[in-house]
Amino acid sequence: MQALTTSVPLVIGDQPGPSSTGATFDSIDPADGSHLATVAEATADDVARAVEAAAAAARVWQRMRPAQRTRLLFGYAALLEEHKVELAELQSRDMGKPIRESLGVDLPIMIETLEYFAGLVTKIEGRTTPAPGRFLNYTVREPIGVVGAITPWNFPAVQAIWKIAPALATGNAIVLKPAQLAPLVPVALGELALAAGLPPGLVNVLPGRGSVAGNALVRHPGVGKVTFTGSTEIGKQIGGLAADRLITASLELGGKSALVAFGDSSPKAVAAVVFQAMYSNQGQTCTAASRLLVERPIYDEVIELLRARVESARVGDPLDRETEIGPLISAEQRASVHSYVVSGAEQGATLVSGGDPAPDTDPGFYYRPTLFTDVTADMRIAREEIFGPVLSVLPFEGEEQAITLANDTVFGLAAGIFTRDVGRALRFAQTLDAGNVWINSWGVLNPASPYRGFGQSGYGSDLGQAAVESFTKEKSVWARLD
């Protein structure tokens, strides 16, 4: 895999290679700020070449028997399994996620997702409808053709496969534009698709700037569907462009998710889950439980347990298996996180742990896990997505206040509830305005289950059976029978 070397190509058609202008950009190791790789930077011409290669590959792919496509996708999954450790290390190096998460969480999710969709290929069916008179009416699910995918840097492996797997399983080819800040694993996945024997051009991977390659991809007339994961701001632009072209878009965007802990729940269990739900991946997770609402009777105990847990967190080299907190993705991200911490203190929240008086002195982009209490719903740290290791804890009294606070957000990606009262848990789950709700847990995922946001967290799901609808066109065929 060339993605494992210091010179990283574009993957277009059958030949990984340079961009049309020879332009490159640097990939930086966030653990120490050093140069990690020189990456080919895609231009609009490269996007056009990739769309052409994808359209040709889609035709080859669609002519294959479904069982043959299934076998090829399982072969691709097996190859990813074989390269799991290299891929996990590459990801941790490129974007700072602790290796225990890359290897223990991301790579298994990625491979299971591909396997789920490999199995789905042979199960895509149309319908017959109760047609009037002497007619037969049936529907067929046809591939869209070329899917344009744009992904963020926080889950490079998972996000790439969450686009590639459903697109391919439904008979399409894909052109993927990964985030510039973490392109190495997506490029490796493109190279491995070729090595697995998938038709050349079926998976094209084009690292580059969003405003250039990303924009060109969404605008290209050969792209029939866009699937985007990233910030709400860019998602709105992409949704607007797709609407203008009358193509479908699925948008998985930001969040400010609330985990609600009722007084009857175990403070220990709450603190343990919140630590993972908030600080894994340094808080750079769209479903981070960044607002913790705790009922008064257990408020002090939960905070004390959390404070102890946060202060004992092992911050360090992402490739060390003991590390729990690695660096943030970039110096800009660290500065942005720090500005939120400053605003929290200025607006009157209590800084219990973390913050960093001099974040710029470290050559790596580390930021200590941070805990604010006495947060009120109007503060910026309670309203905006920080995308860093900053938890805001708000007290509440009673179910009514809890639901008001939990739903007091423009986002609707995820929410959770901790209680031993089953009725309350289910009642609450119905009232929470979020696409993913977890009861007495957080962050559980399965490719068979849809994953989508409400409100400013976007629309459309790339997972589960919903993906079949999202990545195909349903055609209605009428036959006169006499």
| Nearest C-alpha neighbor of 407 from the set 444, 443, 382, 379 | 382
Half-sphere exposure in the Cβ direction for 414 (13 Å, CA): 27
* Catalytic residue chosen out of the listed positions 52, 101, 191, 252: 252
Closer to ligand NAD at the Cβ: 26 or 397? Answer: 26
Minimum Å gap between C-beta 243 and ligand NAD is 14
DSSP track, 60-119? HHHHS-HHHHHHHHHHHHHHHHHTHHHHHHHHHHHH---HHHIIIIIHHHHHHHHHHHHH
Q: Pick from 15, 68, 211, 339 the residue near ligand NAD by CB under 6 A.
A: 211
Q: Per rule CB under 6 A, is residue 274 in the interface with ligand NAD? A: no
Q: Which residues, listed in sequence order, are joined to residue 135 by a DSSP beta bridge?
A: 480
Tokens matching residue 372:
């604010």
| Nearest C-alpha neighbor of 86 from the set 102, 101, 110 | 102
Catalytic residue list contains 332:
no
Closer to ligand NAD at the Cβ: 172 or 287? Answer: 287
Catalytic residue list contains 385:
no
Asked whether 262 and 421 are in contact (CB, 8 A), the reply is yes
DSSP alpha helix (H) spans, 348-398:
380-383
Q: Per rule CB under 6 A, is residue 164 in the interface with ligand NAD? A: no
Q: Pick from 215, 323, 409, 456 the residue near ligand NAD by CB under 6 A.
A: 215
Site for ligand NAD in 316-355 (CB under 6 A): none
Closer to ligand NAD at the Cβ: 240 or 348? Answer: 240
Q: Pick from 13, 16, 143, 152 the residue near ligand NAD by CB under 6 A.
A: 152
The burial of 219, by beta-carbon neighbours within 10 Å (0-12 exposed, 13-18 middle, 19 or more buried), is given as: middle
The angle subtended at Cα 46 by Cα 44 and Cα 49, nearest 5°, is: 115
| Nearest C-alpha neighbor of 322 from the set 337, 332, 312 | 312
Minimum Å gap between C-beta 440 and ligand NAD is 22
Site for ligand NAD in 413-442 (CB under 6 A): 413
Stretch near ligand NAD under the rule CB under 6 A, chosen from 195-203, 214-222, 364-372, 420-428: 214-222
Stretch near ligand NAD under the rule CB under 6 A, chosen from 45-53, 106-114, 225-233, 344-352: 225-233
Minimum Å gap between C-beta 64 and ligand NAD is 30
Minimum Å gap between C-beta 79 and ligand NAD is 25
390 φ, ψ (degrees, to nearest 5):
-130, 115
Which residues are near ligand NAD by CB under 6 A? 150-155, 177-180, 210-211, 214-215, 218, 229-231, 234, 237-238, 252-255, 286, 385, 387, 413, 453, 457
Which are the catalytic amino acids? 252, 286
